[in-house]
Amino acid sequence: MFSNLKPTPADKILALSGLYRADPRDEKIDLGVGVYKTAEGKTPIMSAISKAEKILHETETTKTYASLIGQPDFHGAMAAMVLGEGYPADRLAFLSTVGGTGACRQAFELARLANPEMKVWVSDPTWPNHIAILNFMGVEVKPYRYFDNDARAVAFDAMIEDLKQAKKGDVVLLHGCCHNPTGANLTLEQWAVVAETLLANGATPMIDLAYQGFGDGLEADAAGTRLMAEKMPELMIAASCSKNFGIYRERTGCLMVLGDAANTAITQDNLGKLNRLAYSFPPFHGQALVAKVLTDPTLRQEWEDELESVRNGMLGLREQLAAELRQLTNSDRFDFLARHRGMFSRLGATEAQVMKMREDNAIYMVGDSRLNIAGLNENSVPLLAKAIVAAGV
């Protein structure tokens, strides 16, 4: 039977790590997978998370099954972080999931239960896993224009023109902040126009929020999501705790579904079914850590401070890279790097230029010229700037 299996195409982002590791050059620079790294190239456990783990270790008395839909304290803390303290509890159904990826998958599954014919509109470009999961599920994917390759900014008029074509029963997938892979994001005014557009055609928005706190701050990064939650009758939010709590391997995330209060119970019931049929209970440990950190005032402050320093570190690297390129090119055409937010920027280099930087300078970025800003440090920024210019970007 298994001889019928066909080889699967590698995930281009994950495959890059293997190529990087195999490169014997000392001065190599890894700008591939979206993982936060310190200047020393380490992905540390955040101090508040370590402390929460110690507390959990000392106080946990059982490892019996917990809740199928996830832990209520985690759900409440996540809703408050994403939607603000005054979130509409009566209109919200929750599901703890296997990371943000699991939240995306379960959101697509829920939408398909509600409408077997649904199509999903995704930004062009988007995180490749969105498309891969939808293709695997056999769901039709409709790209909407998002990125202006020349301006390296959001192509907003084109985006709205395309989103006007979405229909009631379709899902429109948006990135809440820190767009992956481009780094170009909507302003709050633009979010309001997106809301008006979807209110007019009745399509259901879904927000993938994988980097809250990595762009302009915890509150600012949630502003677009909060605006949508306020204006839209329905909204799905797939929130990941992998990056902002640094607990990637714990696989912690949450799907929040906002709808008519009269439907909350049945939506909740359907969400529980999706977990049960996929893997039964979601991972517990990460939920407990996040709930502890968010609800213990001392740990929360410590976590927010560390998250701020991570965020400001990345902003500093963006400024340094833009300044370096301004000097080398005698132009401001790379200033977009300082305007983008989050871990990623799409440089706008051709695949040949990306390969040239890999071959000549041992700089590893994704083939579409997405670079992970957190893979840089003060010393490697000038090397990258020189390589960008030498490659003719």
Residues near ligand PLP (CB under 6 A) are 34, 99-101, 104, 127, 175, 180, 208, 210, 240, 242, 248, 253
Nearby residues of 57 by Cβ (< 8 Å), 6 or more positions away: none
How far apart are CB 43 and ligand PLP at their closest, in Å? 13
199 binds ligand TYF (CB under 6 A): no
CA 172 to the chain's CA centroid? 16
When CB distances are held under 5 to 8 angstroms depending on the partner's kind, the choice from ligand TYF, ligand PLP, none that residue 33 binds is: ligand TYF
Cβ closest to ligand PLP, residue 240 vs residue 361: 240
Of residues 280-299, those binding ligand TYF (CB under 6 A): none
Axis-axis angle for helices 264-278, 99-114 (nearest 10)? 120
Give the amino acid at 34: G
96, 97, 180, 185: which one binds ligand TYF (CB under 6 A): 180
Give the residue among 88, 94, 93, 50 at the shortest CA–CA distance from 70. Answer: 94
200 binds ligand TYF (CB under 6 A): no
**243 tagged catalytic:** yes
Relative to beta strand 252-258, strand 235-240 is antiparallel
Angle at 272 between CA 264 and CA 95, to 5 degrees: 75
Give the residue among 372, 377, 293, 382 at the shortest CA–CA distance from 20. Answer: 372
Q: Are the C-beta atoms of residues 77 and 294 closer than 8 Å to each other?
A: yes
Nearby residues of 50 by Cβ (< 8 Å), 6 or more positions away: none
Tell me the number of residues near ligand TYF by CB under 6 A: 8
- Residue 234 backbone dihedrals phi, psi, to 5 degrees: -135, 145
CA-based R_g, the chain, Å: 21
Q: How far is CA 303 from CA 100, 251, 306, 313, 351, in A?
A: 20, 19, 5, 15, 38
- Residue 214 backbone dihedrals phi, psi, to 5 degrees: -95, -10
When CB distances are held under 5 to 8 angstroms depending on the partner's kind, the choice from ligand PLP, ligand TYF, none that residue 99 binds is: ligand PLP
Residue of 30, 93, 121, 127 with catalytic role = 127
When CB distances are held under 5 to 8 angstroms depending on the partner's kind, the choice from ligand TYF, ligand PLP, none that residue 253 binds is: ligand PLP
Give the residue among 82, 362, 347 at the shortest CA–CA distance from 239. Answer: 82
Cβ closest to ligand PLP, residue 242 vs residue 369: 242
When CB distances are held under 5 to 8 angstroms depending on the partner's kind, the choice from ligand PLP, ligand TYF, none that residue 375 binds is: none
69-108 footprint of ligand TYF as x/- string (CB under 6 A):
----------------------------------------
17, 129, 190, 268: which one binds ligand TYF (CB under 6 A): 129
User: Which SS3 state, helix, strand or coil, does residue 24 take?
Assistant: coil
Cβ closest to ligand TYF, residue 16 vs residue 256: 16
CB atoms under 10 Å from CB of 36, counted, come to 25
Instruction: Tell me the C-alpha distance between 226 and 223, whole Å.
Output: 5
Nearby residues of 139 by Cβ (< 8 Å), 6 or more positions away: 108, 112, 118, 119, 120
Closest residue to bound ligand PLP by CB: 99
- Residue 143 backbone dihedrals phi, psi, to 5 degrees: -75, 140
Cβ closest to ligand TYF, residue 131 vs residue 274: 131
Cβ closest to ligand PLP, residue 194 vs residue 247: 247
Residue of 79, 166, 210, 288 with catalytic role = 210
Instruction: Tell me the C-alpha distance between 370 and 271, whole Å.
Output: 34
Closest residue to bound ligand TYF by CB: 34
How far apart are CB 84 and ligand PLP at their closest, in Å? 22
Give the residue among 386, 222, 243 at the shortest CA–CA distance from 310. Answer: 243
108, 127, 144, 211: which one binds ligand TYF (CB under 6 A): 127
Span near ligand TYF by CB under 6 A; candidates 6-14, 42-50, 53-61, 254-262: 6-14
**28 tagged catalytic:** no
**121 tagged catalytic:** no
Cβ closest to ligand PLP, residue 172 vs residue 210: 210
How far apart are CB 85 and ligand TYF at their closest, in Å? 29
17 binds ligand TYF (CB under 6 A): no
Give the residue among 11, 190, 15 at the shortest CA–CA distance from 101. Answer: 11
20 binds ligand TYF (CB under 6 A): no
Question: Which residues are identified as catalytic?
Answer: 127, 208, 210, 243
Residues in contact with ligand TYF by the rule CB under 6 A = 11, 13-14, 33-34, 127, 129, 180
